[in-house]
Structure 1
Amino acid sequence: MRISEILRRKGAEVVTIVPEATVRELLGVLAERNVGAVVVSRGGGTVDGIVSERDIVRRLHTVGAELLDRPVADIMTAVVHTCSPEDRVESLRSTMTEHRVRHLPVLRDGRLAGIVSIGDVVKSAISELQTEREQLVHYLQQ
């Protein structure tokens, strides 16, 4: 299965935030949109970074409450692993495992085209297994 199939099923909407927004504003976006990570982007179509709940927790532990008034740029991951709609889900699983990331922005021609989470990848694997099981059961019943 290709990443484009996951995006077709779940949609291509990507929640973004500007690097100058505060961590407090970021928390509001995460809660309001019920997501675990957002793409940091100055223009909405490019990727300047990514920031997740994990990034907040890790910094909050060392910095304390003053972190809430700092800009998102201070805690974002600037080197972002990405994928394309043509990539296969299997390669995405490897990338996520190897680099210990849970969200990958999807880029088409250098522009933001979606985002895929580890949950999306697991969901696609379960779907593929269910389809395979149904085909095997049908084959055996003939």
Structure 2
Amino acid sequence: MLINNVLRSKSSGDSVATVRPEETVRGLLAQLAEHNFGALVVSNDGETIAGIVSERDIVRRLHEHGAALLEQTVSSIMTVDVYTCRSTDDVARVRQTMTDRRIRHLPVVDEGRLVGLVSIGDVVKSTIAELETEKEQLVGYITS
């Protein structure tokens, strides 16, 4: 299975919610809550990646800065070394990358343009669906 299949199965389709680097952490929290996401890609134009910011980034900085963190900019807490994948990548390879790198969210980039965001939950869900399909096919083969 390819990442493209995972993106198509998501309710958000190929739309990607992003946050601008100059947005405050307070604004970021509102967007995370609105979309029910655990991370957002940081982008100036919605197509290129400046970074990624997750709930984990917020929690770690909150410990250091307290409530003052809410008025800081997203750029001050985002991760700038962002791992990405392509829509044509195999889910198994992406799952391995996410596991090895301890990454929960991976932007999908095709031809230099942001086309999606997959979470470890999306990847696991697709893997389970693929295994269920294989199981059904094997049971059908054995019983026929």
Q: CA RMSD in A?
A: 0.7
CA distance, structure 2, for counterparts of residue 87 and residue 7 of structure 1: 12
Q: List alignment gaps of at least 5 residues for structure 2.
A: none
CA offset at residue 118 of structure 1? 0.4
Distance 2:38 2:68 in 1: 21
Aligned-pair distance for 1:33? 0.8
TM-score (ref. length: structure 2): 0.97
TM-score by length of 1: 0.98
Per the alignment, residue 2 of structure 2 pairs with 2
| Partner SS state of residue 113, structure 1 | strand
Alignment of 1:102-121 (within 5 A): 102-121=104-123
Could you tell me how far 1:9 is from its partner in structure 2? 1.4
Counterpart of 1:80?
A: 82
For 1:112, what is the secondary structure of its paired residue?
Answer: strand
- Give, in whole Å, the separation in 2 of the partners of 1:33 and 1:85: 22
Structure 2 Cα separation of the partners of residues 102 and 13 of structure 1: 19
Segments of structure 1 that go 5 or more residues without pairing to the other structure are none
The list of structure 1 runs, each at least 4 consecutive aligned residues, that deviate by more than 2 angstroms after superposition, is none
Q: Deviations over 1:5-63 (max 9, x none)?
A: 11121111211010000000000000011100000000111110000000000000111
Tell me the equivalent position of 2:101. Answer: 99
Q: Across the two proteins, how many residue pairs are aligned to each other? A: 142
